[in-house]
Amino acid sequence: MHEILSKKQLSPNVTRLDVRAQRIAEIRQPGQFVIVRRAEGAERIPLTIADADPAAGSIALVIQAVGKTTRDLVALNPGDVIQDISGPLGRPTDLIASGRALCIGGGVGTAVIHPIAQGLQRRGVAVVSIIGGRSKEWVIFEEGLRKFGEVIVCTDDGSYGRKGFVTDAAKEMLAAGGVDCVYAVGPVPMMRAVVAVTKPLGIHTIVSLNPVMVDGTGMCGGCRVSVGNETKFACVDGPEFDGHLVDFDLLWDRLGTYRTQEQESMARHEESCRIGLEKPKAV
Amino acid sequence: MSAKITTKERLKIDRQTMPEHDATARAGEFGEVNLGFTEELAMLEAQRCLQCKEAKCVAGCPVMVNVPRFIQFIADGDLAGAARSLLGDNSLPAITGRVCPQETQCEIECIRGLKGLPVAIGHLERYVADWAYRHANQIVPPSPSPTGRKVAIIGSGPAGLTAAGELVKLGHEVTIYEALHKPGGVLVYGIPEFRLPKNIVHEEVERLRQAGVKIECNVVIGQTYTLKELRERFDAIFIANGAGLPMFMNVPGENFKGVYSANEYLTRVNLMTAYKFPSADTPILAGKRVAVVGGGNVAMDAVRTARRLGAGSAMIVYRRTKTEMPARAEEIHHAEQEGIHFEFLVAPVEIIGNDRRWVTGLKCLRMQLGEPDASGRRSPVPIPGSEFVVECDVVVVAIGSRANPLLTSTCPDLKLNRNGNIAVDANGMTSLPGVFAGGDIVRGAATVILAMGDGKRTAQTIDRYFKQLQPNPQS
């Protein structure tokens, strides 16, 4: 049982939960994730460890409420508990040892970029972050990332920072030179677009993949991704891979495996919420 | 009463049939197929045992259950005696009574099988084990004096649970680390409800907990703690984390939507109860036409699960013939009853999908049997030009699993064999002193009972290992 210590709404559909998980808080490394099961009957889903406070024994989970499982999670409040958290899982980020890194975060992916930028800065790597959202209210982790270096904010509508996509800003920065490695995490189309920019320039680019997972220990193979034409399990071989080798079409495709079921589950969830029969169980 | 029965009379009794849930009704639901012997059936069946002086059935059992002894107790009407006898030999009899391949272990050795059918040892074992649950107060085991020695067990599957049961009986302090959220390993994520009800596993686990075994779930050794850290905190370690890395066929189309490893398919249904979706949150692609590739117990579990999820057509695609199938005879029999279609001598060469990469079929080649291979089974050889397509919307790959490298890769000192399994000596000890291993992580994918045999033997080895270590911390 893992108590929720605090809760913060970061954007219209992104929530941060700080949750007690002493051991994970002590040993987690950038890039690693946990598998969370809210309660009996709930799904197991992977969530990146966005931050950790070993002294408080807590980890930060950043959740974008898109389906029933994530909506149930963000409905939890301080004092409520999450039944199961397992981890830290996955391989830690391959952090460069020196030089200058460009960290690109799109939407909720910015939460994944945060510990990477933190890890890089601790090693003495110069960090520049480019983060983006639809508009001002969708930009997350700006303040946190400023602690590790310069932050360039992009919004689609120009309501904050510069107008345009993160890839536009990235293009300019990369053209200017001096970037040794790019870390990009966000929606699949964004990561694909970043890779399209960095590949011709030959700049090593690490992306974090978010396929459907069940156990998170390599046992089920549901999280198969294709990297350099080889099938890999994102949970144990990743979740981060060389972006130039990732088959993003396949990833995007497999992410749609349960779209029909997700809609069914959401419809049922909304119906039961509306008539007040079934509230998300906090246990 | 049984003392008066003569051998001639015993020989006259026919093998009693296991009552089964109706095949048509059960194909749509997940309740257990075998219903269990009644007391009357059990008594009759027990009287069939000839009480051989040198019982071969015992030698056929990987955990050496004293079969004639517990059966004699049943025949005498002393079920508490039968339960004490059985539980003394086997920590998980309700499970083995349901999932052991008795026909190739104890029952194949039964003298009665020479002329007619062997004694139904598995059914009797299950009967006694189920009785023991309902009458737990009559079979309270003696509590051992604590030795002060601490053992960590990695994995709560059949090997880990068995070892835990034996080690607490000997007075050692046992902590099991389980990676998933529920203890039981393959017993909860792999074997379906209709073959092994999860409340049975739950009760076995609870009995171990009451005996003093500590179980910590959601702990992935190699990630949450390293083996090195465990070695600092425990006097011995038993690695029993299974062969949890699914094998795929490496054919084109294997990453299409609708292709599952048997591990994923069964985990979604069993551990995550996807068959209750949307009441339970985990979804599964049920499939109208499901093709399961493989011929072992896991393949049978998957194909029978597909049927229960509503597949109009659920079929096994196997590259050899029925004779070579490694699955238990009873599973094949039950699958046939449930209308499972079998395609023998067929090997998939490609998974076919539509333009949106959903599975639409399985392209296969017909095979013929050639020379025997290393396993002694005749190997399948493709017939040129025999390609055909099996129409299906879900493909489940059940061709085996390998050692999961998650733990071993974080521990370079641990010697592995060439398959990536952990290398052990005759006593089950690894290259690291005080670290033992057993079950599928040593054998590669095998059976529940072989893993349990490893668990039991290793527990005894660990006990001897402690006795050699001086001084005993309690003395």
- Min distance B286 CA to chain A CA atoms (Å): 11
Position B68 scores a pLDDT of 96
The partner residue sitting opposite B272, judged by closest CB among A214, A219, A257, is A214
Distance, in Å, from the CA atom of B180 to the CA atom of A84, rounded to the nearest integer, reads 9
Distance, in Å, from the CA atom of A279 to the CA atom of B5, rounded to the nearest integer, reads 64
Are B463 and B248 in contact, with CB atoms under 8 Å apart?
Answer: no
- Min distance A217 CA to chain B CA atoms (Å): 7
The partner residue sitting opposite B268, judged by closest CB among A37, A214, A268, is A214
Beta strand B236-239 pairing with A81-82? unpaired
A219 touches chain B (CB under 8 A): yes
A221 touches chain B (CB under 8 A): yes
Position B471 scores a pLDDT of 63
Are B15 and B119 in contact, with CB atoms under 8 Å apart?
Answer: yes
Are A113 and A185 in contact, with CB atoms under 8 Å apart?
Answer: yes
User: Can you tell me which residue has the tokens 């049943």?
Assistant: B74
The alpha carbon of residue A124 and the mean position of all alpha carbons in its chain are separated, in whole angstroms, by 23
What separation, in Å, do the N-terminal and C-terminal C-alpha atoms of chain B show?
Answer: 48
| Cross-chain residue pair B257–A222, CB shorter than 8 Å | no
User: Can you tell me which residue has the tokens 């399948």?
Assistant: B380
The partner residue sitting opposite B357, judged by closest CB among A72, A89, A253, is A253
The partner residue sitting opposite B224, judged by closest CB among A23, A84, A218, is A23
Query: Where does the pLDDT of residue B474 fall: very low under 50, low under 70, confident under 90, or very high at 90 and above?
Result: low
CA atoms within 13 A on the CB side of A198: 31
| Cross-chain residue pair A217–B220, CB shorter than 8 Å | yes
- Min distance B467 CA to chain A CA atoms (Å): 34
Distance, in Å, from the CA atom of A183 to the CA atom of A204, rounded to the nearest integer, reads 9
- Specify the amino acid at residue B147: T
Tell me if residue A189 falls in helix, strand or coil: helix
Of B233, B279, B298, give the one whose Cα is nearest residue B446: B298
- pLDDT value at B144 more than 70: yes
| Binding-face residues of A in 189-218 toward B, CB within 8 A | 214-215, 217-218
Are B81 and B46 in contact, with CB atoms under 8 Å apart?
Answer: no
Position A282 scores a pLDDT of 47
The partner residue sitting opposite A88, judged by closest CB among B223, B248, B280, is B223
Residues of B within 8 A of A37 (CB-CB) are: 181
| Residues B248-277: tens digit of each pLDDT | 999 999 999 999 999 999 999 999 999 999
Cα B207–Cα B212–Cα B218 angle in degrees, nearest 5: 85
Beta strand A205-208 pairing with A181-185? parallel
Which chain B residue shows the shortest CA-CA distance from A71? B281
Check whether the bond before B278 is cis (ω within 30° of 0).
yes
Cα dist from B416 to B179, B420, B431, B433, B437, whole Å = 21, 5, 9, 15, 11
Which chain B residue shows the shortest CA-CA distance from A259? B283
Cα dist from A223 to A90, A230, B229, B286, whole Å = 12, 13, 29, 19
| Cross-chain residue pair A87–B357, CB shorter than 8 Å | no
| Cross-chain residue pair B273–A41, CB shorter than 8 Å | yes
Residues of A within 8 A of B257 (CB-CB) are: 253-254, 256-257
Query: Where does the pLDDT of residue B311 fall: very low under 50, low under 70, confident under 90, or very high at 90 and above?
Result: very high
- pLDDT value at B375 more than 90: no
Of B402, B396, B322, B384, give the one whose Cα is nearest residue B359: B396
* pLDDT, mean over chain B: 92
The partner residue sitting opposite A69, judged by closest CB among B255, B264, B281, is B281
What integer is the mean pLDDT of B293-304? 96
Distance, in Å, from the CA atom of B469 to the CA atom of B475, rounded to the nearest integer, reads 12
- Specify the amino acid at residue B380: P
| Structure tokens that stand for B135 in this block | 């009458």
- Is the model more confident about B403 or about B217? B217
| Residues B7-56: tens digit of each pLDDT | 888 888 999 999 888 888 787 788 888 889 999 999 999 999 999 999 99
A69 touches chain B (CB under 8 A): yes
A262 touches chain B (CB under 8 A): yes
Which chain A residue shows the shortest CA-CA distance from B280? A41
Residues in contact with B274: Cβ distance below 8 Å, sequence separation at least 6, in sequence order = B268, B280, B282, B283, B284
- Min distance B254 CA to chain A CA atoms (Å): 9
Are A104 and A153 in contact, with CB atoms under 8 Å apart?
Answer: no
Which chain B residue shows the shortest CA-CA distance from A264? B278
According to DSSP, the residues that pair with A181 across neighbouring strands are: A101
What integer is the mean pLDDT of B190-199? 92
Q: How many residue contacts between A and B have a Cβ separation below 8 Å? A: 109
According to DSSP, the residues that pair with A246 across neighbouring strands are: A227
B277 touches chain A (CB under 8 A): yes
Q: Taking each helix axis from N to C terminus, what angle separates B79-89 and B67-75, rounded to the nearest 10 degrees?
A: 170
Around Cβ B224, how many Cβ atoms within 10 Å? 19
- In this structure, what DSSP letter does residue A124 have? T
Around Cβ B456, how many Cβ atoms within 10 Å? 22
Are B449 and B105 in contact, with CB atoms under 8 Å apart?
Answer: yes
Distance, in Å, from the CA atom of B179 to the CA atom of B154, rounded to the nearest integer, reads 9
What integer is the mean pLDDT of B394-402? 95
Distance, in Å, from the CA atom of A253 to the CA atom of A192, rounded to the nearest integer, reads 13
- Specify the amino acid at residue B313: S
Around Cβ A127, how many Cβ atoms within 10 Å? 23
Of B333, B330, B284, give the one whose Cα is nearest residue B305: B284
Query: Where does the pLDDT of residue B3 fall: very low under 50, low under 70, confident under 90, or very high at 90 and above?
Result: low
| Structure tokens that stand for A207 in this block | 């992306």
Distance, in Å, from the CA atom of B37 to the CA atom of B16, rounded to the nearest integer, reads 9
B229 touches chain A (CB under 8 A): no
Query: Where does the pLDDT of residue B475 fall: very low under 50, low under 70, confident under 90, or very high at 90 and above?
Result: very low
Which chain A residue shows the shortest CA-CA distance from B273? A41
Distance, in Å, from the CA atom of B470 to the CA atom of B253, rounded to the nearest integer, reads 59
- Min distance B409 CA to chain A CA atoms (Å): 11
Q: Quote the longest CA-to-CA distance of chain B.
A: 74
- Min distance B19 CA to chain A CA atoms (Å): 32
Are B185 and B156 in contact, with CB atoms under 8 Å apart?
Answer: yes
Here the ipTM equals: 0.92
Least confident of A108-117, A274-283, B87-96, B168-177: A274-283
Distance, in Å, from the CA atom of A106 to the CA atom of A131, rounded to the nearest integer, reads 6
Containing A144, the helix (H) or strand (E) segment is helix A142-146
The partner residue sitting opposite A41, judged by closest CB among B217, B263, B281, is B281
| Cross-chain residue pair A41–B263, CB shorter than 8 Å | no
- Min distance B248 CA to chain A CA atoms (Å): 9
Tell me if residue A152 falls in helix, strand or coil: strand
Q: Best mutation site among B181, B230, B293, B309 for testing chain A: the one with the most A CBs within 10 Å?
A: B181
Are B444 and B402 in contact, with CB atoms under 8 Å apart?
Answer: yes
User: Can you tell me which residue has the tokens 């083996």?
Assistant: B227
- Min distance B157 CA to chain A CA atoms (Å): 14
- In this structure, what DSSP letter does residue B323 have? G
Distance, in Å, from the CA atom of A190 to the CA atom of A104, rounded to the nearest integer, reads 10
pLDDT in tens, chain A (283 residues): 999 999 999 999 999 999 999 999 999 999 999 999 999 999 999 999 999 999 999 999 999 999 899 999 999 999 999 999 999 999 999 999 999 999 999 999 999 999 999 999 999 999 999 999 999 999 999 999 999 999 999 999 999 999 999 999 999 999 998 999 999 999 999 999 999 999 999 999 999 999 999 999 999 999 999 999 999 999 999 999 999 999 999 999 999 999 899 888 888 878 776 665 555 544 4
What separation, in Å, do the N-terminal and C-terminal C-alpha atoms of chain A show?
Answer: 10
Of B318, B271, B285, give the one whose Cα is nearest residue A37: B271
Core vs surface per residue A178-212: b (16+ CB within 10 A) or e = ebebbbbbbebebbbbbbebbeeeebbbbbbbbbb
Residues of A within 8 A of B156 (CB-CB) are: none
Q: Best mutation site among A84, A91, A220 for testing chain B: the one with the most B CBs within 10 Å?
A: A220
Distance, in Å, from the CA atom of A185 to the CA atom of A107, rounded to the nearest integer, reads 9
- pLDDT value at B285 more than 90: yes
- Min distance A107 CA to chain B CA atoms (Å): 25
